Structure 1
Amino acid sequence: MPINHDATFLEHMPRNVAVQFFDRVEKSADREAYRYPVGDAWTSVTWREAGERVSRIAAGLLALGIEAEQRVGIASATRYEWILADLAVMAAGAATTTVYPSTNADDTAYIVGDAECQVVFAEDDEQIAKLRAHRAELPTVTKVVTFDGTTDGDWVIGLEDLAVLGDGLLAQTPDAVRKVADSIEPDALATLIYTSGTTGKPKGVRLLHRAWVYEGEAIKSQGILDETDLQFLWLPMAHSFGKVLLSVQMACGFATAIDGRVERIVDNLGVVKPTFMGAAPRIFEKAHGKIVTMQANEGGAKEKLFKKAFAVGLEVDRRKREGQSIPPLMKVQHGLFDKLVFSKVRDRFGGRVRFFISGSAALNREVAEWFHAAGILVLEGYGLTETAAGAFVNHPEQYKFGSVGHVFPGGEVKIAEDGEVLIKGPNVMQGYHNLPDKTAETLDADGWLHTGDIGELDADGFLRITDRKKDLFKTSGGKYIAPSAIESQFKALCPYASQFLVIGNNRNYCVALITLDPDQVTDWASHNGMEGKSYTEVVSSPAMQKLIDGYVEQLNARLNRWETIKKHTILDHDLTIESGELTPSMKVKRPVVERNNQETIENLYA
């Protein structure tokens, strides 16, 4: 089936996100829009019900005096109320400013202050406390609206209190919200997303209504999703990858089940049974590692059957991709393994998944191929906060593992002389908030966004990202190293790995800092006579050290001589957001990790 790269949809796009939402409410009024957990059960909401609630909250913001393009913050985990608040902010003509719930009080105050937020939606007492602690520095914040927190009837009010304010305005002027929505220009500010950034203070990315509308309409135009689909959404909504899926939902009309609790993802998939889900590569790596080690712990005939099944599955997949025939015996084996092994893997994810979408970091090709052998398609996409998340995506009917697919219809891409990927299109940001110099560094005079990523386009137009420009380093022997390519290979090989950091800039050889997945460590300990021992005790044990040494040897066997890891160490803790070593979107802050482990690194070179 040919992929639609026709961009004529650009001429007929909804004027702004608010109109896009209200059009969907009208078109799909009685269809399910959202589903969210209440206790152990799930509550369903139609588009009409969601539209009414959004209108009341938007009217409440207008009653508070919110004006065009003024900023309204949301400091909350992913939940149904986050979506209501975000849509209401945009329907009121204002601009959502996103704050991760894990952001500390100082950074929360910096973001809210830099954005000059007038109102902030705060999830609970923890988020309210961050704002209270810095209230003197936030003169523009006139009201805090809480989902679950304690109200004071003055500065802090509840979400329903805000909706009741809106009722008063709508009683006087029933079309107040729709009038504002219709008046919003495509180039009006819709969102200010502060990049969590692996270095320095977060930068506010200014994204316009046309960027979000375009994202949804570009996916719709390719026929990837439609209203019969069901999405499971857990991604942080403060991140552009989570937020863009709302635009796609409004364009395509499918229902979304929402629960931001990461520890509940697998359980929720079994209950919700979605047809697709977006996730970061770490989720797929973790699931892959868990399933592989679970089978290894079974041992005996079950482990042999599992390994044989995947050997056959991967070979069948390879032959299909290369247009080769599949021998009759292999066909029979594959059918048997599908019943005995692969169907059980699919059932873990609900059994109805058409595909997963992986984004926000590079997905290892071997992990993608492993899932595909089990009948689960993981489509990799690519984009940045600066492109309203999506810029490239593989298609269910046309994909290449190891690539991020084709550029969205209506978008453009070129590779600079130094290999940097440059992007242009309706989804590109207006610039960085209050940072004209940084904007000029990233957006050139011709409108090309300099992504900071190194990549290459193949003859069929598929883009492959090879590394971050700033992460590439040169050894003292003059050889260039792309660390992320090596790091993702290790994570595919080692089911216990959480992070693998390659270091070697201006050194005569490469070393690695390794962290292991705490859940996998606990599981391994229970099968190896170390049950109840701490993470540090387990990872420093001779047995675990020997196990990881074996995986490093396997990695080195695949690498060029100058890329091989000569020495490595397992850190006594996994990297966390709380320690400042990971961004809220789970990217490693390399400078922080290297600084925190300077002595360990020096010892590896001693």
Structure 2
Amino acid sequence: MESQNRPLKTLDEPQTYEADSETFARHNILCDGKGVWSMPDDLPQTLLDCFKQGLKAAGEDGVCCGTPDAEGKYQMKTYGELASTSQRLGNAFNKLGLESGKSKIAIFSANCFEYDAIIIGGYFQNLCNVSLYDTLGEDAVQFILEQTEAPICFIQDQKKLDIILKVKPESLKTIVMLKEYKTDNKEVNIVSFEEFKNTGDTSDANNNAPTPSDMATINYTSGTTGNPKGVVLTHKNICTVANGISIFSLPAPWNTNDVWYSYLPMAHIFERAVHCVLMSVGGQWWFSSGDIKKLLDELAVVRPTIFGSVPRVMNRLYDKIQATMAESKLKGWLLRSATASKRGRLDNGEVTKNTLWDKLLLKKVQNLLGGRIHTWVSGAAPLNPKVRGFIREIFSCYVIEAYGQTENVGCGTGTSFVNYQKEDGCVGPPQPWNEIKLADVPDMQYFGKDGKGEVCFRGDNVMQGYYNDPEKTAETIDEDGWLHTGDVGQWMENGTIKIIDRKKHIYKTALGEYIAPEKIEGVYGKHPHIAQMFLWGSSLQSTNVAIIVPEEEKFMKEYGKDRTFEEACADPETAANFLVAINKFARQDGVKGYEVPKAIYLEHELFSIENELLTPTQKAKRPSIQKKYMSIMEKLYEEINN
């Protein structure tokens, strides 16, 4: 696939054009006035085609993935091994009697070689897969398995097996275990992965390949409210993005020598989409052990050329480097001088690791992540522009910040013109395979004619709908095919989009003011002493209150006073002083007076997946947080009113 990306001539060159004077929809300039891009017939049309293309590029002996053993040494698997394992699994599915184009394969596991083989094996028989987050609780697991009626589930370990056997969905007839297990269960047929695989052979005589319109996956959103929603994505949906990224979005084409460190969950569309792109070019993905303490050691072995992360990881890295700069005036001066020099080059469209600063200083930091990263991909949540700029300066690599949802395969926009990027918080132009319009949000005084409104996507990457849920589908995709995101965006002068607000979760105070808590939390989240925040307001009250989890180390340096973190958080005087400081910070960043909290509660325990206050993708489960802290927030209002 020949790249059609091209460098911009200047930092301010327009990246989109208005394609419809009625809806004010805009297209990427790479569309060249020809309309939104659709896949031509000479590109792989299904994910099975993508795999076969990658197999041809890499060859039977080409490395596809690496898995760390107990000692941290990586064991390699080839494309030939992945092909034969997948073919055996496909024939095993056929022998089991799974119905092509109808039966679903459930996978409840962390990332591994078997995970990819199961997915591809299913595609040999046109079987759709259903991924379960490996951190899901019983209720969500039961809901997904019952809704999809999956007859087979591949399970990683004993802990997950116990969950499945406890919920016992009626449709589940076969369980395949990836690791050792113990059970006295007699109701479900349980076999090992090797046993199941060996019931199939490597013949391709019974293959039943999918078509572009067939379901490829039902990707369940982790859900901040209620049951998760099953996003139905076809082969065409996913291949549109996979092929489109290779053609339009990369600074340089990926190839068989490129390596990805796979530590984000395969159940998330971000990781899944990257696998599809890499697989189509014969690239490599090396798995994490899942132990966060070993991350840097594993990166030193893997030495990825492409690195992906959610903003939280990048924020931690940024804080760590900033802390190192603060330890020594000399170190601080050197790093500031280096980044200033690199910034000058970046603003002139030059991305390079071949400067004196790289060789003398920055190489040491770059080596923390293996030293070979040429492209860094960020997604799943907004990225602080200061952090994005710093990563570009320090690691001397291209940074692609993607914005999208599971509902459009995770990539509707992206900072893909990577030679020139303004560090202004924008998430780039719409990618050529979809268009964007900004729909009016009258209650919030946002109107498309003014270049502000709810971000809506339309293109071949937009989902078919939510599985067995036509009502929620109709709420999300309108009659003209526009996917409504709930995010409010603004067109910038250079034709890029910036997310400025959130339509969902807004509430109205007693004064009649609309509050978008996630937008405000995002501003407060930039404060170095804040780890997490939940802003809330009652419609019967004129002010807001908040639950805040401080960043322990930095908070204690200023507010510790020879006591524990829990004791400092419990001190009312400390909370009052902290509130003054953070509100001053927020007001300077544009938060209005009626948007700031008037009282706060300092929580010493982080919101987490384990305490069921975060989703598996680290998003706040707002109803759960509200329920847990309701009595505390009501008490805060009592204190304000007295």
**Alignment-derived partner of residue 23 in structure 2:** none
For 1:105 and 1:409, the matched residues in 2 are separated by 40
Over residues 468-488 of structure 1, what are the superposed CA-to-partner deviations in whole Å (9 max), with x where a residue is unaligned?
Answer: 211344444444444334333
Match of 2:419 among 397, 403, 406: 397
Q: Distance in 1 between matches of 2:359 and 2:115?
A: 41
Deviation of the 1:314 alpha carbon: 5.8
Note closer, same or farther for the CA distance 1:561–1:133 as it changes in structure 2 (3 Å cut): closer
- 1:353 is matched with which residue? 373
Is 1:536 paired with 2:566? Answer: yes
Q: Give the aligned partner of residue 180 of structure 1.
A: 208
SS in 2 for 1:289: helix
In the alignment, the residues of structure 1 paired with residue 415 and residue 340 of structure 2 have an alpha-carbon distance, to the nearest angstrom, of: 22
Instruction: Please name the residue that 1:26 is paired with.
Output: 56
Name the amino acid aligned to 1:447: G
Residue by residue, what CA displacement relative to the aligned partner does 1:465-519 show, whole Å, maximum 9, x if unpaired?
223211344444444444334333333331x53212233464434443211456x
Instruction: Assess, with a 3 A threshold, how the Cα gap between structure 1 residues 277 and 12 changes in structure 2: closer, same or farther.
Output: same
Pairing partner for 1:305 from 330, 334, 338: 330
Is 1:385 aligned to 2:402, yes or no?
no
Structure 2 vs 1, CA of residues 166 and 544 (structure 1 numbering), >3 Å: closer, same or farther? farther
SS at match of 1:368: helix
Q: Structure 1 stretch 86-95 or stretch 562-571: which is displaced more? A: 562-571
Distance in 2 of aligned mates of 1:561 and 1:432: 37
**What whole-Å deviation, never above 9, does each CA across 1:125-176 have from its counterpart, x for those lacking one?**
11111121122xx222121011014267971111111110012xx4xxx223
SS at match of 1:131: helix
Count of residue correspondences: 578
* CA distances 1:527-556 after superposition (whole Å, capped 9, x unpaired): 9796xx875346447998667864554333
Runs of 5+ unmatched residues, structure 1:
326-333
**Once the 2 structures are TM-superposed, how far is the Cα of residue 258 of structure 1 from its aligned partner?**
1.3
Q: SS of the residue aligned with 1:5?
A: helix
- Correspondence 1:76 to 2:109: yes
Match status 1:196 vs 2:222 = yes
Match of 1:279 in 2: 309
Matched residue, 2:393: 373
Q: Deviations over 1:249-284 (max 9, x none)?
A: 122332111116161333322221112222211111
Preserved contact between residue 360 and residue 382 of structure 1 (Cα < 8 Å): yes
Q: 1:288 aligns with which of 318, 321, 324?
A: 318
1:65 offset after TM fit, Å?
Answer: 1.1
Q: Which of the pair is proportionally richer in helix?
A: 1
Correspondences of 1:62-101 after superposition (within 5 Å): 62-69=94-101, 70-101=103-134
Deviation readout 1:370-427 (Å, 9 max, x if unpaired): 3233235542111111112222211233434312222222212111122111111111
1:270 aligns with 2:300: yes
Q: Aligned residue for 2:243? A: 217
Q: Where does residue 330 of structure 1 map in the other structure?
A: none
Contact 1:387 1:429 in 2 (8 A): yes
Going from structure 1 to structure 2, the CA distance change for 1:527 and 1:35 (only over 3 Å counts) comes to farther
Counterpart contact for 1:215–1:427, Cα < 8 Å: yes
Q: C-alpha separation between the residues in 1 aligned to 2:461 and 2:40? A: 12
Alignment of 1:439-518 (within 5 A): 439-494=473-528, 496-504=529-537, 506=539, 507-516=541-550
The range that moved more, 115-124 or 416-425, is 416-425
Relative CO higher for 1 or 2, CA cutoff 8 Å, sep ≥ 6?
Answer: 2
Contact 1:59 1:176 in 2 (8 A): no
Shift of 1:367: 1.8
Q: 1:64 to 1:91 in 2, by over 3 A?
A: same
| CA pair 474-343 structure 1, distance change in 2 beyond 3 A | farther
Q: How many Å separate the matches in 2 of 1:321 and 1:511?
A: 41
SS of residue matched to 1:559: coil
Aligned residue number for residue 362 of structure 1: 382
User: Displacement, 1:570?
Assistant: 1.8
Please give the secondary structure, in 2, of the residue aligned with 1:33.
Answer: strand
Q: Are residue 119 (structure 1) and residue 147 (structure 2) matched?
A: no
CA distance in 2, matches of 1:17, 1:335: 41
Summarize the Cα distance change of 1:44–1:517 in structure 2 as closer, same or farther, 3 Å threshold: farther
5 Å matches for 1:103-252?
103-135=136-168, 138-150=169-181, 155-167=189-201, 170=202, 174-176=203-205, 179-181=207-209, 184-222=210-248, 223-224=250-251, 225-227=253-255, 228-252=257-281
**Would the aligned equivalents of 2:122 and 2:129 in 1 still touch at CA under 8 Å?**
yes
Question: Do the aligned partners of 2:261 and 2:302 also contact (CA within 8 Å) in 1?
Answer: yes
Query: Which amino acid in the other structure matches residue 571 of structure 1?
Result: E
Q: Which amino acid aligns with 1:259?
A: S
Any gaps of 5 or more consecutive residues in structure 2?
1-5, 9-28, 32-36, 442-452
Q: CA RMSD in A?
A: 3.1
Q: Deviations over 1:547-578 (max 9, x none)?
A: 78645543333334424444333213100112
Distance 1:434 1:471, change over 3 A: same
| Structure 2 Cα separation of the partners of residues 163 and 207 of structure 1 | 27
Using the alignment, how far apart are the partners of 1:261 and 1:123 within structure 2? 13
Supply the distance in 2 between the matched residues of 1:471 and 1:10 (Cα, whole angstroms).
40
1:328 counterpart residue number: none
Q: Using structure 2 for the length normalisation, give the TM-score.
A: 0.82
What letter is aligned with 2:312?
A: R
